């Protein structure tokens, strides 16, 4: 693995490295950790990389690594930069034969996203987008339960992603994470809806297997002087007739990272909270609610295959993130070995999920400005 971004002071780069290391399937061999060559070197040294594999730019990394012997050079790149620097390295990597893992959202704008999708199809390379919340075992259990009809036909979906960290104008301090997320030049057309709204959309569609067909959005910027949205409330229609609500917020004071979802079908209901991820609450008609737990009882294979340790030993965010890397790595290994990966490993968000996420951002922002009730998706 060669990393683009994620040098000193970054948040998500370290997450990617820990997630990739967890299962002993991936080795960090090189990186372009910063557009500042000096900072990139220092970051590489922190990570015990040999100086010659630490590059000053992703372009230098891709060009140089390409020339190394096959058993030495990186097999794929991992892109952990702000949104506006996703497209460049992804495109170049694909054009030079490297598989790609990229942080979400896929790109800065929809045009870039579609271009990447085209390139992935053309090259046949493997592309994983780290919509990491779908990596949790109990999310996979929920998806399997819906697919198997355990809760009947889905009628109502409520997905929420409240955070409170941007309830004040944090971007005016030197908080790097706040700064780029609220900057249209680096984030794109959306703030909260792009940063976390897309996670909510992805989670809802992943679990239900349904697609949003139209939406009605109320998009707000509560903090004076902020340039992008920091809150959004959205009504949803799904392709099977189900109705839904999606709301995401970065001004919900006191909320940490409380992504959660409820899915109600004709026979039962499901409830999952990201902050207590090893629990899936299952509700039934006229029967006790059940607390399904990672590792307990007869869960579906998809849940079991993404759990590492026995019941009662909580797995968390890094483990879910690691599931995407593990699955991606297994698929890359299979490709290198000329084999077909096991179906259980073919379960990670793709470039097409990324395009869908970008479209969601566009539709939500369009709806937020519209006086018309429904915007088709």
Report the site for its own copies in 294-353 (rule: CB under 8 A): 295-298, 308-319
Q: Does 169 contact its own copies by CB under 8 A?
A: no
Burial degree of 363 (CB within 10 A; 0-12, 13-18, 19+): buried
User: Minimum distance between the CB of residue 252 and its own copies, rounded to whole angstroms?
Assistant: 5
- Structural tokens at position 84: 């506006």
Among 45, 68, 291, 336, binds its own copies (CB under 8 A): 291
DSSP annotation string for 314-326: ---HHHHHHHHHH
Give the integer Cα–Cα distance in Å for 307 and 278. Answer: 10
Give the integer Cα–Cα distance in Å for 157 and 243. Answer: 6
User: Minimum distance between the CB of residue 258 and its own copies, rounded to whole angstroms?
Assistant: 7
User: Minimum distance between the CB of residue 223 and its own copies, rounded to whole angstroms?
Assistant: 9
Among 92, 151, 189, 204, binds its own copies (CB under 8 A): 151
- Over the window 49 to 88, marking each residue x when it contacts its own copies by CB under 8 A and - when it does not, the resulting string is ----------------------------------------
Q: Does 138 contact its own copies by CB under 8 A?
A: no
Which of 2-10, 54-62, 249-257, 355-363 is the region at the interface with its own copies (rule: CB under 8 A)? 249-257
Q: How far is CA 190 from the centre of its chain?
A: 16
Question: Looking at 122-187, which runs of residues are DSSP E strands?
Answer: 127-129, 154-162
Are the beta carbons of 79 and 101 closer than 8 angstroms? yes
Q: What are phi and psi of 88, to 5 degrees?
A: -55, -60
How many CA atoms, within 13 angstroms, populate the side-chain half-sphere of residue 229? 27
Among 1, 10, 16, 17, binds its own copies (CB under 8 A): 17
Which C-beta is closer to its own copies: that of 55 or that of 264? 264
Which of 122-130, 178-186, 285-293, 346-354 is the region at the interface with its own copies (rule: CB under 8 A)? 285-293
How many angstroms separate the Cα of 54 from the Cα of each of 39, 78, 82, 275?
A: 10, 14, 20, 36
Which of 9-17, 31-39, 68-76, 355-363 is the region at the interface with its own copies (rule: CB under 8 A)? 9-17
Q: Does 148 contact its own copies by CB under 8 A?
A: no
- Identify residues 96-125 at the interface with its own copies (CB under 8 A): none
Which C-beta is closer to its own copies: that of 351 or that of 365? 365
- Identify residues 21-50 at the interface with its own copies (CB under 8 A): 21-24, 28, 47-48
DSSP annotation string for 61-76: HHHHHHHS-TTTS-SE
Pick the closest to residue 47 from 90, 8, 81 (CA basis). 8
Which of 81-89, 200-208, 342-350, 366-374 is the region at the interface with its own copies (rule: CB under 8 A)? 366-374
Pick the closest to residue 25 from 309, 319, 326, 305 (CA basis). 326
Among 70, 285, 337, 338, binds its own copies (CB under 8 A): 285
Q: Does 218 contact its own copies by CB under 8 A?
A: yes
User: Minimum distance between the CB of residue 85 and its own copies, rounded to whole angstroms?
Assistant: 21
Q: Is 177 strand, coil or helix?
A: helix
């Amino acid at each position: 693995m060669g990393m683009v971004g994620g040098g000193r002071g970054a948040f998500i780069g370290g997450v990617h490295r820990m997630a990739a290391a967890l299962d002993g399937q991936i080795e960090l061999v090189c990186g372009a950790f910063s557009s500042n060559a000096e900072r990139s070197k220092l970051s590489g040294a922190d990570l015990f990389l040999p100086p010659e594999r630490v590059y000053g730019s992703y372009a230098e990394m891709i060009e140089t690594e390409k020339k190394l012997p096959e058993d030495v050079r990186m097999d794929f790149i991992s892109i952990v930069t702000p949104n506006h620097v996703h497209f460049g390295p992804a495109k170049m990597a694909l054009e030079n034969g490297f598989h790609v893992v990229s942080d979400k959202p896929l790109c800065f704008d929809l045009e870039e996203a579609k271009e990447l999708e085209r390139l992935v199809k053309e090259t046949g390379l493997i592309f994983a987008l780290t919509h990491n919340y779908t990596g949790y075992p109990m999310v996979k259990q929920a998806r399997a339960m819906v697919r198997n009809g355990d809760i009947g036909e889905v009628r109502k979906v409520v997905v929420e992603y409240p955070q409170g960290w941007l309830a004040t104008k944090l971007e005016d301090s030197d908080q790097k994470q706040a700064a780029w997320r609220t900057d249209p030049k680096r984030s794109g057309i959306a703030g909260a809806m792009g940063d976390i709204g897309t996670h909510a959309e992805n989670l809802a569609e992943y679990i239900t297997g349904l697609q949003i067909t139209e939406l009605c959005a109320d998009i707000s910027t509560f903090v004076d002087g902020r340039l992008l949205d920091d809150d959004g409330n959205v009504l949803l229609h799904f392709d099977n007739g189900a109705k839904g609500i999606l709301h995401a917020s970065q001004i919900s004071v006191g909320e940490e990272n409380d992504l959660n979802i409820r899915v109600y079908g004709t026979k039962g209901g499901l409830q999952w909270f990201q902050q207590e991820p090893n629990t899936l609450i299952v509700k039934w008609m006229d029967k006790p609610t059940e607390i399904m737990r990672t590792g307990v009882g007869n869960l579906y294979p998809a849940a079991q295959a993404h759990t590492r340790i026995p019941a009662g030993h909580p797995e968390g965010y890094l483990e879910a993130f690691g599931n995407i890397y593990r699955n991606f790595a297994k698929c890359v290994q299979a490709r290198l070995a000329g084999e077909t990966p096991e179906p259980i490993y073919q379960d990670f968000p793709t470039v097409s999920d990324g395009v869908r996420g970008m479209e969601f951002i566009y539709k939500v922002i369009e709806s937020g400005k519209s006086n018309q009730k429904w915007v088709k998706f």
